Amino acid sequence: MPPDLRPGLAGLPPEAVAAWFAERGHPSFRARQLNDALWAGGATSAASIRTLPTTVRAEIDATFSLDTVADTEIRLGDGNLTEKALHRLADGALIESVLMHYPARRTADGQQRERHTVCISSQAGCAVGCPFCATGELGFGRDLTTAEIVDQVRAAARRLRTHARRLTNVVFMGMGEPLLNLDRVLEAVSALSDPGRFGLGARHITVSTSGVVPGIRRLTALGPQFTLAVSLHAARDPLRDVLVPLNRRWPVAEVVAAARDHARVTGRRISYEVTLIDGVNDTEADGDALAGLLRGDLCHVNLIPMNPVAHTPWTASPMERIERIAARLRRDGLAVTIRRNRGQEVGAACGQLAAERAGEPAAPVVARRRELLVMRSAAALGGERLTEPPEAGLAAALAANRDRTPAVGPVVATVD
Ligand code: SF4
C-alpha cells in the first residue's frame, strides 16, 4: 500500500482549520464541529463524525489524516499498570509510547488521586546515542510531525476513556531528544495545553532534555510553559561524556547553569533524572559530585535504576547503593525520589520494542560495542576525558538544528 501522505489534522492550529473551511465556502461552525469531534470526541476518522454532512466528511478524509498513529500494537505489563504501545507511522517508522497507571494512595498529607501518565516520543530514533538506551543504539530516523506527537497522547486518552478515566500527565521522555525537534514539540505542547483543544494544564506536561543548552535557553526566553527535566546521569564530565555523548558538546556545568537560569526566570523547579548503573555512576564520588553540582538549586532529583537493555555490559545499581546516594543528596538539602522501573517484561525502556523489530545486530558488532563501553567507562572512572568528537550522526543532527529558523518566540542562543 502506498504511504499515507495526508497531513495529520491534530497538528494544525485552529486558525488553519478555520481557513481551510472558509476557502471551501463552508460556514465557520463546521470548523468548530470538526474541532469538537477531534479533541473532545477523540475522532479517528472523518467518516465517524455524524455532525458533519457526508460531502464535508469526504473532503476532510481526502485532505487530512485524523490518526497518524493508527497502526498500533499494545503490550501490557506490571499487572496491567503499564501499557507499552508500538506505533507504526505512515512511512513505516516505528515509535513507542508508554501509558502508566498509578493507583490512588493515602499519603501523610491526605489522599492522592490516581494518575495516568503517558510517556511519548518526539523523534523516530535518536542521534544522541546514550549507550544505556535502546533508542540510542537504533540511531536517528527522523523528527516526528506535530500531529504524530499529539496523536500518541490522543491514542492513550482514548484507551483511558473506554475505562471512564482521564489522562493526567504527559512526559516527553520517550524516543528522541525533544529539544532537537523543538518547534514541533512546542506546537504539540500548545495543542495539548490549549483549553479549546486537548486542554491539559501545562503544569501536567514535562519535557525532558539530555542537555541541549541553546534549546533550554530558548525555553527560558519563552517563559514558564511546562516542567523541564534534564537527564543528568553523571555530574562529572569524563563519565557524562560516555553516558550522554552530547556532553562533549555542552559540558555538564553549562547544562546545569542553563537549567538554573531557567528555574530562576520561570520560578519552576527543574527535575533532574539520574539513571544509576552498577559500578559505573553510583559511587560515593558520584554522590558527592552530584550534591556539589546541585546544592541550593530549585530542583528535584529522580534516581532511577537502569532498565536492562540488550547489548550493554551494564546492569542496574543495587537498591542499597541507590538509597545511599539518595541519603547523600538529602544531607545537602536536595529533594530526591527513588523511582522504580516500569514494565520491564514488556520492554518499557525507551526504544526496546522498536529495537526488537529492527532485528539483532551481528554478534561481532555487539561484542565491539560492549568492549568499547567497558573501555570508555573504565577510562572515565579514572578521570580521563574522551578526545574523539561526537559520532557522525550526532554531529549531523546538531548541524541540522543550527540551520533551522525557530517558528515560535525569540532565540537567545543558537547551536553552533
Ligand atoms: S536516553 Fe534519550 S537522548 Fe539518550 S539516546 Fe535515548 S532517547 Fe536519545
Query: Catalytic site residues?
Result: 96, 350
Q: What is the mean pLDDT of residues 226-237?
A: 96
Do 144 and 259 reside in the same domain of the chain?
A: yes
What is the pLDDT, as a whole number, of residue 398? 73
Residues 1-58: tens digit of each pLDDT: 778 889 999 999 999 999 999 999 999 999 999 999 999 999 999 999 999 999 999 9
What is the pLDDT, as a whole number, of residue 414? 28
Say which DSSP state 255 is in: H
Residue 366 grid cell: 555487539
136 ligand 1 Cβ < 6 A: yes
230 ligand 1 Cβ < 6 A: no
Do 24 and 132 reside in the same domain of the chain?
A: no
Query: How far out from the chain centre does Cα 384 lie?
Result: 30
Do 75 and 221 reside in the same domain of the chain?
A: yes
243 ligand 1 Cβ < 6 A: no
Do 156 and 35 reside in the same domain of the chain?
A: no
One-letter amino acid for residue 355 of the chain: A
Do 343 and 199 reside in the same domain of the chain?
A: yes
Residues 358-371: tens digit of each pLDDT: 666 666 666 666 67
Q: How far is it, in rounded angstroms, from Cα 416 to Cα 65?
A: 36
In a domain, 11, yes or no: no
What is the pLDDT, as a whole number, of residue 353? 66
Structural domain of residue 29, as residue ranges? 18-45+52-57
Do 256 and 125 reside in the same domain of the chain?
A: yes
182 ligand 1 Cβ < 6 A: no
Beta-carbon contacts of 210 under 8 Å, excluding residues fewer than 6 positions away, are: 128, 130, 177, 230, 231, 244, 246
Which numbered atom of ligand 1 lies nearest the CA of 129? 5
In a domain, 279, yes or no: yes
Residues 107-156: tens digit of each pLDDT: 666 677 899 999 999 999 999 989 888 888 888 999 999 999 999 999 99
Cα radius of gyration rounded to whole Å, the chain: 22
Do 39 and 175 reside in the same domain of the chain?
A: no
Which numbered atom of ligand 1 lies nearest the CA of 209? 3
What's the gap in Å between 276 CA and the centre of ligand 1? 15
In a domain, 315, yes or no: yes
| Domain boundary residue, one of 57, 83, 105 | 57
What is the pLDDT, as a whole number, of residue 405? 38
Do 108 and 158 reside in the same domain of the chain?
A: yes
What's the gap in Å between 178 CA and the centre of ligand 1? 10
Q: How far is it, in rounded angstroms, from Cα 238 to Cα 235?
A: 9
| Domain boundary residue, one of 31, 57, 83 | 57
Which numbered atom of ligand 1 lies nearest the CA of 244? 4
350 ligand 1 Cβ < 6 A: yes
The number of beta carbons lying within 10 Å of the beta carbon of residue 382 is 8
Q: With a threshold of 0.95, does the pTM exceed it?
A: no
Q: Label residues 72-105 b or e (16+ Cβ within 10 Å = b).
A: beebebbeeebbbbbbbbbeebbbbbbbbbeeee
Looking at 24-126, list the stretches that DSSP marks H as alpha helix, in order from N- to C-terminal side: 28-39, 54-63
In a domain, 409, yes or no: no
Q: How many domains are contained in the chain?
A: 2
Which numbered atom of ligand 1 lies nearest the CA of 208? 2
Do 36 and 148 reside in the same domain of the chain?
A: no
What's the gap in Å between 126 CA and the centre of ligand 1? 6
258 ligand 1 Cβ < 6 A: no
Mutating to test ligand 1, I would choose from 135, 208, 373 the residue with most ligand atoms within 8 A of its C-beta, which is: 135
Do 36 and 85 reside in the same domain of the chain?
A: no
Using DSSP, how many helices (H) and how many strands (E) does the chain show?
A: 14, 14
In a domain, 62, yes or no: no
Residue 8 grid cell: 495529520
The model's confidence at residue 406, banded by pLDDT at 50, 70 and 90, is very low
175 ligand 1 Cβ < 6 A: yes
Q: What are phi and psi of 169, to 5 degrees?
A: -145, 145
Beta-carbon contacts of 71 under 8 Å, excluding residues fewer than 6 positions away, are: 87, 88, 89
In a domain, 10, yes or no: no
126 ligand 1 Cβ < 6 A: yes
In a domain, 411, yes or no: no
In a domain, 303, yes or no: yes
Distances in whole angstroms, Cα of residue 165 to Cα of each of 60, 113, 117, 199? 29, 12, 12, 15
Q: E strands of 43-112, at which residues?
A: 71-77, 82-88, 94-102, 105-107, 110-112
- Going by alpha carbons, the residue nearest to atom 4 of ligand 1 is 130
What's the gap in Å between 310 CA and the centre of ligand 1? 15
Q: What is the CATH number of the domain that holds 301?
A: 3.20.20.70
Is the confidence at residue 99, as pLDDT, over 50? yes
What's the gap in Å between 102 CA and the centre of ligand 1? 24
Interior CA angle at 134 toward 132 and 136, to 5°? 80
Do 38 and 181 reside in the same domain of the chain?
A: no
What's the gap in Å between 93 CA and the centre of ligand 1? 17
Do 261 and 353 reside in the same domain of the chain?
A: yes
